[in-house]
Every structure is written in C-alpha cells, then in structure tokens.
Chains A and B, each alone.
Chain A
Amino acid sequence: MGEAVVMEVSPAFEEYVVTRGRALWRSAWLLTGDAQRAEDLVQTALVKCWHRWDRIAAGGSVDGYVRRALITTYTDWRRRRWTGEVPTADIPDARTVETDLEVRRDVLSALAELPRAQRAVIVLRFYDDLTEVQTADALGVSVGTVKSHTARALKTLRKSDFLEDS
C-alpha cells in the first residue's frame, strides 16, 4: 500500500508514461480516430506536462492534469486542416478480426458526426468513465455545459445510422 501511495502522489515521468501511456493513447484514438494522430496528441500533451512535471507531481492530481492537457491540446488542434496522416511504412494488420474493423469504422463514423467538444465529453464520460464534475474539470467548462453536451451528443448518436442497436 505504501508503494501505491507514493506512485499516486508523485510518479516519475517515465513511470507515468509507461503505466498510463496506453490508456491515454486509447482515449486519444477515440478523439482523433487515427493511430498516428493519437500518438502525436498524447506525445504533445506529455511534452507540455514534462516541462512542469515537478510542479504537476507535487500537486497530486497527475492524471487530472495530464488529461486536461490532452483535451486542451485536442481542442487546439481544431485549427489543423490535415486529415490524412498515414504512416508511409505501415502495413495494415491483416490479423485484425473483420467484425472489430466494422465496429471500429462505425464508431469512428458516429463520433465524427459530433462537434469536437461533444466528442470529448462522450469519450471522457463513457470511455474514461469520468464523472460529470471530472469531465467539466478536464474540459475547463461548467458541469451544466457537460450535461448539455452529453444530452446533445447522445441524441445525435442515437439517431446515427452507424450505431444502431443490433
């Protein structure tokens, strides 16, 4: 238990990246819909945090800070027009099960119908399982805004052709 407390209060940067990097990447993937951009998003957020790591770690809520940096970076990227980043040397993974690919495609298509803020709320609330208060903190908005974004996003997703109940 003692070790867990130490880790919670002040993880070293390397330790944090190793233990939490994959989880951050998964959220980033849902936000961006692209593996390369997800990695870029997580890296960019972590680079920003690394400059202030001592302060962040001393503050205690490392996860909350990094997540907020991730979301802020994602929001800033709204100005970027580039949408077609495909790593040149990558070969599609033929082992991926076809049904997973279909689900993946449908989920990304449905999420793409959402405005950026609503998409972030959906990912934080229903993938990261954050509370409304935590989501509001991550987005830097009020709880009321989270509630309205959630309601609108769910309404859109329920109407989406890509996420029909099967």
Chain B
Amino acid sequence: MSEQRLRDVLRQAVPEAPDLDPAAIKGRAARERRHRRSVAAGGAAAVLAIVAGTLTMAALLRDGGTQVLPSDQSPAVLPSHTAPTVIPWLSSPPGPNPVPKGNAEPPLAGQPISLQLIVDERARRGEPLKFIVRIANLGSEPVPLAPCPYYRVQYLPHVETGYLNCDQAPDAIPPQSHLDFAMQINVQRLQPGIGGTYDLLWQLGGEGAEGKTVRTPVELVRTGMMRVTVPSHCGVLSVTVEGQLWLADPPLGDHNPPPGWDENQTSGRLIFLNPDRAEFHGDQGQRATFRRADPVDTDPNAECE
C-alpha cells in the first residue's frame, strides 16, 4: 500500500464529525477547576496540621495507614435502596464470572430499552459506591428478563461483573415502564488519587458481548495527601498520580538517585499544597517538590532504563 493510498483510505473511513459545544467544554473545565480548588484546601489543611504537630500520623491516617486523610467529612446522601420499587442488589452473582468468552449477543440486545444511572452519593476510597440502574422499556411489548441479564460496571480502573437480581424482579419490564435495580461497586482503596470527577460506567453484557452502556460522572471525595512511590533510579524527575503527571521542581540527582534516596523507588507521602504544587515527604526524610505538568509535558522518566 502506497502512502497516498493510505491517506485516501483514512479519509474515506472517517465518519462525519459532530459539532462540539464550546459552552459544554467550558462548563466541564469550570467544574474541574472548582473541584481542584477544593482539593487544594484539603491539602493545605493537611500540611498545616502536620507542621503544627497537632495531629499525629496515627490520627491522620485511616484504615491501617494505607490511605489518606479523610479530608471531607460531609455525610453522604444515600439513595433510597430500601424503597419497595428498587430491586435489591444481588451481592453474590450466581455461578462463575458471567462474561462469556468470544463474541456473544449481549443481554437485551435489540430490545427497545434505555438505561439510566441514579447516583446520589460521592465515591469514597475503600467504600462501596451505591447507585441505581434504571432500565426503561420504551416499547409497547413487555421486555422479558430471561435469560437473566448480566452486566459490567466500572469506576476508575476497577471493574466488577454480575447478574441482575432477577429472582426478586418481575419476569419482564412492562411496556412504557421501568425497573430500578440497586447496584454497588467497590471504590479501590489502593488506587492513588486526589479526588476528581470520573465516569461511572455500567454496561449490559461485558467483554465479548458489549451491550448498551450508560455512564455518569461521579465525584471522588478528595484526599489531602496520599502514599506514593516516586521513581528515583534516574534522579527524582517525576511521579504520575492517577494519570496526572507531576514534575519535580527542581529535579533532584544528576541522572542518579540523590543521596539518601532509594536505588529504584522511594516511598512516602505526597501532600497537595494547591492544585498545581505538591510536596513529597519520604519515609526516610527525603523531600522533593512537584508541580502539576502541563498537558504538553512529557514524562522524563520515560527515558529512564
């Protein structure tokens, strides 16, 4: 294939592009900025607490010290899972992992249904995120729930699978009606992060049988600091936290671990001073400052071997 032929094929393949809405993008940017500011407030408070010595690490760290400051104490508003119209969550999916191997037809394929997620709480690390999935029948005939549909749900990189609780649901979704299923997914405790808004994704079927999908942004409660491992083999150059690159400012070491740093990786806490700056406190007293990387920055550690 010639290069010109490749150009032609690429152009032929690309579908018509939608119009993008600048207002929607600016709205999302504003929401993210507001959230980053709230993160900064939590991080700064954590630093002050440490400096003043008014709180011990034992008090700061929760759950065995593997996770981070509980920097937001506002109570979550729970969805009304106990309402009689909500079908309880099936905590133990029957049988093995329901996701089939190879290509298969996803559950409720071809049925006139729509999905909706109802999430009334924010996600907290190490705790289940509870929500409701509403399956609506838009058609004029009942939509049978047999065989019992299975699903996949994802929040952050964590994926869970299961079946709908068909035993406690009607045999079918009546026409022009809907059923609400209580759902939950564990929010990973060890996943580092400072909070933010991430999509909760819920899909009928699963890998190899991907059916209708719905997603909604869910706020992950901010944390003021976290445990991280900073690469130090080629000097202290950068650390990536939940996909966000942070650059050492200034970089430490001359392409080698600085004195007192571990040969490969150095563990410690990353404390967020504001949305753009963070301070690393190593377990052995190491110190480094990081700045949030620009979108165009590349990871200097990528060259490290």
Contact = CB atoms under 8 A, between A and B. Distances in A.
Interface of A: 13-14, 17-18, 21-26, 29-30, 35, 39, 42-43, 45-52, 65, 68-69, 72-73, 76-77, 79-89, 96, 100, 103-104, 106-108, 122-123, 126-127, 129, 140-141, 154, 157-158, 163-165
Contacts of B203: 84, 86
B5 A165 contact: yes
Contact of A103 (B12, B28, B207): B12
Looking at chain B's contact residues, is the secondary structure mostly helix, strand, loop, or mixed?
Answer: mixed
A65 B25 contact: no
B39 to A, nearest CB: 14
B301 interface: no
B296 A29 contact: no
A107 B24 CA distance: 31
A17 B114 contact: no
Given A29-B15, A127-B11, A43 B115 contact: no
A127 B28 contact: no
A50 B22 CA distance: 10
A85 B3 CA distance: 32
B225 to A, nearest CB: 22
Given A88-B114, A107-B13, A17 B25 contact: yes
Interface string B2-25: 010111011111110111111111
Looking at chain A's contact residues, is the secondary structure mostly helix, strand, loop, or mixed?
Answer: helix
Given A84-B203, A127-B7, A29 B17 contact: yes
B113 to A, nearest CB: 8
B28 A47 contact: yes
Contacts of B13: 30, 100, 103-104, 106-108
A10 to B, nearest CB: 16
Contacts of A96: 15
A18 B29 contact: no
B145 interface: no
Nearest to A86: B213
A85 B17 contact: no
Given A13-B22, A84-B213, A89-B114, A30 B10 contact: yes
B265 interface: no
A61 B29 CA distance: 21
Contacts of A22: 17-20
